[in-house]
Structures are given as structure tokens and as C-alpha cells.
Amino acid sequence: MSSVATPAPTPRRRRRTRLQRRQTRLAWLLLLPALAAVAFVAIYPLGKTVYQSFTDQEFLAGVSPTKWVGLHNYFGASGIWHDADFRHSIVVTIKFTLITVSFEFVLGLIIALVVNSSFRGRGAMRAVMLVPWAIPTVVAAQMWKWMLDDTFGVVSDLGKKAHILSRSNAPSWLADHPLMSVSAVDIWKTTPFVALLLLAGLQVIPTDLYEAAAVDGANKLHQFWRITLPLLVPAILVTLIFRTLDALRVFDVFYVFFGNRPDTQTMAIYDQSTIVGDGLVGYGAALSVAIFLVISLFVVIYVTVMRVGDQA
Amino acid sequence: MWRGVHSGPGLKKGRINVKHRALLVVAGLVGAATLIVSLSVAAAGTSRPTAHAAPAKSAAIAPPKVPNAAAIKAKYHGQKITFVGDSVGGLHARDLALAKRFQKDTGIKVNVVPHPAASDASFAQLARNFSSKSSAFDVMMVDVVWPGAFAPYLVNLKPKLGKAAKAHVAGIIQNDTIGGKLVAMPWFGDYGILYYRSDLLKKYGYSAPPKTWTQLFAMAKKIQDGEKKSNDNFSGFVFQGNAYEGLTCDALEWIASAGGGHIIDNGKVTIDNKNARTILDAVRAQIGKITPKNVTTFQEDQTANGFVSGNAAFARNWPYMYSIAAGADSKVKGKFNVSVLPHGAKGGSVGTVGGWQLAVSKYSKHKDAAIEFVRYATSAGVERYNAIAYSLVPTRTAVAKDKAVVKTNPYLKPAIASVPRVTRPAKFLKGKYNAGSKVIYQGVNEILQGQSASRVLPSIKSKLQRLLR
């Protein structure tokens, strides 16, 4: 419509009054602090990371001065492109993300539906449900690590006493099922958060819709599929984005459980041990950029899905 | 971008009815529950097996007086220094006792900060500190494999402590001298030894500790099979299998004692050989059989917990565990003994050289006061105290021969102390030692988790070669 309604831009600019120009200046002036803050806390560190990823900077640089190495960290002989360990860490992280996000979503939805219905003691229920989420992750992880210990851990002990686990050959959770045990802890901890987000979505669905549906003779299952789920889609998408991005950046549970154990390195742990452990700042920065790209891939997927959902 | 989120199809905004009272109740309950959980976690933390407690003997012997205290007090009285000290076993308590005594005698205030228990994490901490030229740390514990990497950031101690250095084992002084500068002062030595339950060996008809790994595996199996009937948690052998620096030490002992070289020899990576493959595969076959399955997550403290609580027949650990196992809280007090580590079919017994030095940061604001603390902590009196109260190997030759010291530390007897020592490949990897060690311990950890050595060793080799270039 702009091509029809407005003529060439030049006469329009001439028509700008002094007042308008003053207001524009004032707007920029008022925006300046915010822009400076963004530049300081986001653009500068991000830019510096990208810059460092093109250098061979190391901790203890007293050994040799930092050099510009171009794309060597990315595509050189020992670059990320050929780094099997990094590829493995992507696989581990994505596996973890798929497992935890799907379990958390299904369980969280069930819990949200339950606590959304009215029953006695609903407030207490909502509070109790949030307890795992309120515990700091490192504390929770250490707690679970002791509970899952195969020698003095309470899980194996109860399992043996209940004759579910064999006495002589009980499984070692951390050694035999590393990804499962770490996912279980994350699901235990984060499901309440998912439930809370979905609950917020459920609460804005107008109740008269259900009344109307009931009058029309729709049963509960119909109501769920035809009313609840479609109206919950925006909340579901936000939840999934939050959880997916969180899970892709996972560090703490894995670090407490396994430290530098090679078969359970997530992207974040591999990056941390490269920078802090090996002191390879340049290569680590390149890894950070690569992780950023991997995560943005997921963001792009989600946003596309949302656009499509929006147009439909 | 997030348009879809805000404009749900046909939604009327502003219908959320916030019930303030309900919210308050919710918040209060969450807070209370969190408090209960965190308190119970704290309680669980303190009620773990008590192998961490300082041995009872240390109460009987106190840190010695500071020699020449009056002169030091006159010069440096009132200065404050920070010491990055130990965290394994009961050694943080020892550091505090030393700092207190030093402060009382000299008026120099010592702030003790324990370093991370895994030494590779400790390396990273110091590396960050040095690369930011921070004056936060004055005196620090330096592992025997670090002087090469940290030398540019440490004070040359030769002018002030060169004379005292002559009383220490020459090999360690050589290790700590980089480019003619004495960058660190030996504090205590370390080498891997075998702990065994003498009572159980007797019970199952063995008269002597195992000479070879094969013997150890067989003995451990027999003892475990017998003991498991009365104790579910009993296992034959515990060691440091977690993916961290300690596993590099254990792996070096296995490989070198089986005639498989020293991982890097004369600048060339030698780890991928037949003897190394054989011994590593042999150890892998024992995981979960004579060891707990989760031995692949054990560090020193878990090893000590297992042995001291009476749940293991054999343990590989450093001498520091001796005083814990012989302490009042130990379930194996008087029931265990030490020996050299076993060897493979083609090699002889060895022990990985460990040990810690004290160094002074170049960025310290109180270098002279810091050096005086190092002088005190590495004096004959303190080394004797360390050895008797905490079973730490003296680095002063005279103290190592002291009758009272040898009596409380049987691993100092010539039969054990004269075992050939093997060193980790620090002098080849230099500043990249931490990265190299990570390659080694991660690879060996993969083997312990079930990968075959012939698959993993070539990849360790190529990664190490890349670091050497």
C-alpha cells in the first residue's frame, strides 16, 4: 500500500518539522543508555568471543604470543570440522535434550491438567510440586549422585530390600546407565517448571468454552483435543523453546555426575574443559561459536514451526 | 518473531485472576520445603563415612615452633598472605594448624584457601590466576608435574632458600629447577603403593601380598567371593578410575609395570604397544568383577572410603591414606599393611611420582613474608610433623630416615621406598601438560568403561602427537 499512497521520499523529508527533528534527537538520547548497556553486556563479549575464535590465544600465554590464525580453528587440520570429540558431544547433548524435553512435556502437561482442576488442597499441591525446581541444581545433582551410588546409595539399597534388584549383581546407575540417570534427575527437577508454564497457559482458557462444549454434548476427551490443546499451543511452544535451549546448554548435572568423563561430555562441558582445563582460549571460543550455531538451528526450527502454526 | 505467542487464536486477555493470598501461601510453603530439603542435604553431607576426619594421632603432636621467629616478626609483622593449600583427607585442618602457629610466632597473617580436590581442576585455577596477573594468591601448592608450565609466574627461591634446598632429595630439586631458577620448594613426596588387608590374606590362606597383577586379581576374587556372603558391599580392589589426573597416575603404573613404557619416552609417544594393550585390557576385564562397577568414578577420597570402611581387600593409593587407615575412626586399624604395587608378566614394580611443592607467585604483594612461610612449611620440623601426624612422605633425606618417622610410616622402609619411580610425561608436554593428561585419562577411562585398548590407544597416540608438535 505504501507504493500507492506515498510519493517519492524526498518531498516527505522536506516536510519534517523542527519539532519532529528535536523529538527524534531526544528519542536517540533516551535510547542511548539502553544501547550502551546492550553493547557492553551483549555485543562486546559476543564480538570478543568471535574475534578470539580466529586466534590461537592460550592461558599461560607467556609461552608464546597470540597470533591471528583465520579459520584454522574451524576448518584447519585439527579444527572443529574434524573434531570427533565435539561431534560426539553434540550427539550426547541432543540425545539428552530429546529424552528430557519429551518426558518433561508429557509429565508436565499431566501435572498441569491435574492441578488446574479444582480440588481440596490445590494450593498445597502446587507448592509441593515446585520443591524440586526450588533446589539449586548442583545441590540436587550431588544429592542424587549419593542416592544413586551403588555401594551406599539409597536407591540400590531399597531396590535390593524390595527384591527388585539382585543382591549380588545390582546395576551401577552411574556407570552402566549414565545418560538415563542424568536425564532422570533433570526430568525430576524440571517437570514442575514445565507444569507451571503450562498451567499459566491453561488458566487463560475461558471456562465458557467448556460450558458451551458440554451443552453441545462433547465429552471430556473431545474437550481436551478440540479446546484445551489448540488453545494451549502458544504456551506449549514457549515451554518447548525454553526447555530445549536450556537442555542444549546443560552443564551442571553432567559436571557433578561425571566430571570430564569422555562418553558423557555435553557441548558445554567440552567447551569448558577446553578453555579452563586445557587453557585453549582461541579454540574454545571457536567451540562457543559452533555451539551458538547449533542452538540457533533449533531456534530457527521452532520459529518456523510457530510461523506455520500462526498462518494456519 | 514471537508473535504467535502473544496472539493465541481468539484469546481474551486479562482474564487471569491472580489470587494474592493463595500465591503467598504457595510461596511460603515452597520456602519452608526448600529449607527442610537443604537442611537434610547438609545433614547427609556431614553424616557420610568419616574417613575425612583428621586422624586422632595429630592431636598428640602439634606444629613445631617457627625457627628464627623474632627476626621474621621484626621485619614482616602485620603483613597478610593467602595460601592455596590442600583439601584431600584431613589436610586442610593441618594447613590451618600450620597457619595458626606461623601467625602466632611471626605476626604474619595467613589466610588458608583449600584448592579443588582434583589436581587438574587445581591447575586450571592457578592458570587463570596467573594469566590475569592476580595478586590474590601468595603461596600455592604446586604438583610435581607443574613447575615447567608455571615457571614464568613464580619467584626464584634460590637466593633465599637455596641452602635449605640442599637438604631435600636431589631429584625433586632438579624437577623444581627450571632454567637455573628454583621456582618451587619440595613439601612432601608421593608414590603409589598397595594397601592390603593382612587379616583377610591370612584368613584365605595367603602368606604374602601379590607380586603380579594376575596374582592380585586372583586373590581379590577369592577374598571377595568369601566376604560377599556377609557383606554385600565388599569388593576385591579399589583404585582411582575417574576421568581425572589420578587416573593418569594409575594408568602409568599399570603400563610401566607391565613393560609398556612411560606413555611418552624420549619425546616419542609410546603408549600404543602390545604390553600396554595387554595390561589395560586385563584391568578392564576386572571392572565390576573384583572392583565396584562405579570404580570408574572414584577419586582418592572414594578409594579411601572404600578401604577404610572395611569394604575392600586391596587399594591403590598414596601414602596419605596410611594415617587415615591407622586412625581411631578406621575399621581396618591394625588389620592392614602396605607393599609395592604388583607388576605385569614382563615388567617390575613401580610407583608414579607424585608430590607437592610450595611456590610463591611473582604477582604477590608480600613476597618476602610468603617466602618465610615457605621456609617454615618446608623446614625439617614441619616435614617431621607432616610425616608422623599425616603420613606424608618427607622430601628431606634426613627426615625420611628418622626412626620415629619410619616407625609410623612403614612405606618408608627401604623395601618399599626404593621401588623405581616413574614420572608423568610433564617434561615433554610442558605448558600443554593438562591437555595431554586429559587425553590420557579420558582414553583410559573409556577403556575401563568397556572399550578395547586396541581401539582407544591409537587415538590417544595421535592426540598426544598433535600436542607435542
pLDDT reported for residue B25: 55
B80 touching chain A per CB within 8 A: no
The CA distance from A24 to the nearest CA of chain B, in Å, is: 26
Say yes or no: B221 and B320 in one domain.
yes
Which of B8, B30, B296 is facing A175, going by the closest CB pair? B296
DSSP label of A233: H
- Please indicate, yes or no, if residue B277 is contained in any of the structural domains: yes
Report the alpha-carbon distance of residue B274 to residue B342 in Å, rounded: 19
Please report the DSSP string for A234-246 in residue order: HHHHHHHHHHHHH
What distance in Å separates the CA atoms of residue A66 and residue A54, rounded to the nearest whole number? 10
Establish if B284 belongs to a structural domain: yes
Residue A282 CA, chain-centre distance (Å), reads: 25
Residue B197, number of CB atoms within 10 A of its CB: 23
Total residues found in chain B within this entry: 469
**Cβ partners under 8 Å of residue B382, min gap 6:** B63, B64, B98, B376
One domain for residues B342 and B201: yes
B 353-412 residues with CB < 8 A to A: none
Beta strands in B205-334 (DSSP E): 235-238, 264-265, 268-269, 312-317
For every residue of B389-444, DSSP letters joined together read HH--B-SBHHHHH-HHHHHH-GGGSHHHHTSPEE--THHHHGGGHHHHHHHHHHHH
Chain-chain contact of A262 with B149 (C-beta, under 8 angstroms):
no
pLDDT at A239: 92
pLDDT tens-digit readout, B104-151 = 999 999 999 999 888 888 988 898 899 888 999 999 999 999 998 899
Answer yes or no: do B265 and B395 share one domain. Answer: no
Domain identity same for B254 and B206: yes
Neighbouring C-beta atoms of residue A153, cutoff 10 Å: 20
Co-location of B332 and B375 in the same domain:
no
Q: Is residue B34 part of a domain?
A: no
Task: Establish if B203 belongs to a structural domain.
Answer: yes
Task: Note whether A222 and A212 are within 8 A (CB).
Answer: no
Mean pLDDT value of segment A225-242? 90
- The three cell numbers of residue B56 are 586422632
- Average pLDDT of A156-181? 83
pLDDT of residue A59: 76
C-alpha grid cell for residue A169?
Answer: 549383581
pLDDT score of A291 more than 90: yes
Residues B413 and B326 in one domain: no
Same domain flag for B321 and B303: yes
- Chain B residues in contact with A207 by the CB 8 A cut-off are none
- Is A116 an interface residue toward B (CB < 8 Å)? no
**Which CATH number do you get for residue B285?**
3.40.190.10
B298/B337 same-domain check: yes
What's the pLDDT at A64? 64
DSSP code at position A225: I
In a domain, B210, yes or no: yes
| pLDDT value of residue B35 | 54
Q: Which residues pair with B355 in a beta bridge?
A: B189
**pLDDT recorded at residue B360:** 97
The topology under which CATH files domain A85-311 is MetI-like fold (1.10.3720)
Task: List the single best residue of A58, A176, A236, A260 to mutate versus B (max B Cβ within 10 A).
Answer: A260
d(CA A261, CA B243): 5
Residues of chain A with CATH 1.10.3720.10: 85-311
| A4 pLDDT above the threshold of 60 | no
* The domain boundary residue, chosen from B380, B399, B418: B418
Q: Determine the structural domain holding residue B132 and report its residue range.
A: 57-191+354-418
Q: Does a structural domain hold residue B35?
A: no
Choose among B138, B75, B65, B139: nearest CA to B102: B65
Shared domain for B440 and B342, answered yes or no, is yes
Respond yes or no on whether ipTM tops 0.85: no
What is the overall mean pLDDT for chain A?
Answer: 87
- Chain A nearest C-alpha distance from B370 (Å): 22
Written as nine digits, the cell of A306 is: 510457530
Contact between chains at B149 and A58 (C-beta distance less than 8 A):
no
Q: What angle in degrees, to the nearest 10, is found between the helix axes of B69-76 and B367-377?
A: 160
A200: amino acid identity, one letter: A
pLDDT at B93: 92
Instruction: Provide the domain count of chain B.
Output: 2
The residues of chain B scoring below 50 in pLDDT are 1-19, 39-59
Per-residue cell: A272 = 569448558
**Dihedral of alpha carbons A64, A68, A74, A79, sign:** negative
Q: Using a CB–CB cutoff of 8 Å, tell me whether B70 touches chain A.
A: no
Do B72 and B117 sit in the same domain of this protein?
Answer: yes
Which of B418, B442, B460 terminates a domain? The answer is B418
Q: Are B339 and B463 members of one domain?
A: yes
B123 and B216 in a common domain = no
